[in-house]
Amino acid sequence: MSSPTPETARIGNRYRLDERIGAGAMGAVWRGTDELLNRTVAVKELLAAALPSADQLEESRQRILREGRIGARLQHAHVISMFDVVVHDERPWLVMEYLPSRSMAAVLAEKGPMSPREAAAIGRQVADGLSAAHAAGVVHRDVKPGNVLLAEDGRAKITDFGVSRAVDDVQLTRTGVIAGTPAFLSPEVARGQEPTAASDVFALGATLYAAVEGEPPFGLDDNAYALLHKVATGAIRPPTEAGSMTALLMRLLSNDPTDRPSASQARDSLARIAAGQSVAGLATPSGDTQMLESEQGAPDVEPAAEQNPGTLTDAPVPAPMVIPGGGSNGGRNGGNRNGRARGGFRKRLPVIIGVVVALLVVGGGVAIGVVRANSASTEAPT
């Protein structure tokens, strides 16, 4: 990476820029030193050269300042912490936690797809960070492998809330500008609806899908508008390599946002999958409990229905729209048939008991009537 120029060797009379460690279309990230506290930090600058007009520069200034305000509200083990915002040369610079790491996108590009349990272990941490963000009223809007940092010790943290916004903040995105990566957008956002926490959950599912399948659920397309149209249909290709995570992925990628779990519910299920355990059931935001089956033949794991039959439901599990002929649905149907059979028997049991009692009563009355009739015919004069 490059070294800083003398003009930008130090900002805010406190932060020394040591090495540029990353760059994007809108800015660059430097590894620096907080000389007051003597600690390593990451410093993000806004590149003015990437913004040809004054209006775009001012908008991006507002966006990056908002990133700082949002980041300051999130202090969590799986979110990159925001320390300071410094205005230097009339540009805002963000001072953030430095995590020696690589992005999930870089790891996937080098090593290829992950195993379901490895992806679930990362997903659990990301979902935990998203849960904290949503509790603070923040929607990230751009969850993707490139915004998930992976440390050598196994820690995962979400970064770059630059296109996120607090629910009560003013929308800054100009008309016609898409905030977010099309390949990981939720269908409702691609159709022009406002992003919500459920949109982040979908993007989490798309990120984990890409981790195990090798590409996002809607594929890849150099034509961003063609890809956006495909995303808007909600027609995903069911995963074939997700194993024990298949059913959960299908839930996270539900076309209807109300059918998706919350980030905290996804976290708990991913934790069980990462530990090699079955996922017995998962409550949707509406409060309904849906059945999820883990991978068939998983070692040392009893069937979910046997572990917790109380989570079964008579309602079929709604699934995202899928491409015809795209593959199986992760074995959910079998679990639902068992659930409907058991649930139906429990519901019919009171009716069966009532019928039996009624038959006994009627039968007793008939028997008494026959006895009386026989007695009357015996006593009658010949």
- Residues serving a catalytic function are 142
Contact 51, 60 (CB under 8 A): yes
- Residue 129 CB neighbours (<10 A): 25
Please compute, for residue 284, the number of CA atoms within 13 A of its CA located in the half-sphere on the CB side.
21
3-state SS string over 127-171? HHHHHHHHHCCEECCCCCHHHEEEECCCCEEECCCCCCEECCCCC
Ramachandran area for residue 300 (φ above 0: left; ψ -120 to 50: alpha; else beta): left
Residue 263 and residue 283: Cα distance in Å, rounded?
A: 12
Residue 212 and residue 196: Cα distance in Å, rounded?
A: 25
DSSP conformation class of 317: P
Please compute, for residue 143, the number of CA atoms within 13 A of its CA located in the half-sphere on the CB side.
33
Contact 197, 164 (CB under 8 A): no
Residue 141 and residue 135: Cα distance in Å, rounded?
A: 15
First to last CA, the chain: 123
Q: What is the DSSP string of 76-121?
A: -TTBPPEEEEEEETTEEEEEEE---EEEHHHHHHHH-PPPHHHHHH
Closest residue by Cα to residue 119 from 150, 153, 77: 150
